[in-house]
Amino acid sequence: MTPFHLAFPVRDLQETRAFYHDVLGCTPGRSSETWTDFNLFGHQMSAHLRKDMQPAHSAGSVGKDIVPIPHFGVVLMMDDWKALAAKLEAYDGTDWIMKPSLRFEGEAGEQATLFIRDPSGNALEFKGFTSMDQVFAT
């Protein structure tokens, strides 16, 4: 698998660095006064300063859940997802959209999921699978 790159807007680089590094455990990369890179589970995330940014307020549905659109995140193996979920549950500052849950239980594509917002209001989803074969199962 090759990593993806995502550039996304943030309102404050210092709070963004603290959240992605200290809370999510992302290794920081290159940065300047207007952007900073992170390694999010092997993927290159570039946070770009946009002091005038407005959070998105759209929603879509997945199964029985209403989810924020747009959102981004990472697919993890279940043990890694459980560790991240436990870390986020222990952190008092987690801005939950959807607490950890199981989706499509007993069906193709069964997955654990959780949604949070970063300090700039960007929605992130983290999915956990017991097998990567389930990611695209139909």
How many beta carbons lie within 10 A of that of residue 33, not counting itself? 7
CATH topology of domain 5-49: 3.30.720
**Could you tell me where in the chain the CATH 3.30.720.120 domains are found?**
5-49
Phi and psi torsions of 9, nearest 5°: -85, 145
**Residue 132, Cβ density class (10 Å: 0-12 exposed, 13-18 middle, ≥19 buried):** exposed
Confidence of residue 1 (pLDDT cuts 50, 70, 90): confident
**Stated pTM of the model:** 0.90
- Cα–Cα distance for residue pair 103/2, rounded to 1 Å: 26
Given a cut of 90, whether residue 84 has pLDDT beyond it is: yes
Indicate the pLDDT class of residue 34, thresholds 50, 70 and 90. Answer: very high
CA distances to 31, 38, 120, 130 from 135, in Å: 33, 24, 29, 10
* CATH H superfamily, domain 60-134: 2,3-Dihydroxybiphenyl 1,2-Dioxygenase, domain 1 (3.10.180.10)
Exposure of 71 by Cβ count < 10 A (0-12 exposed, 13-18 middle, 19+ buried)?
Answer: middle
Reported as a single tens digit per residue, the pLDDT across 41-58 is 999 999 999 988 776 677
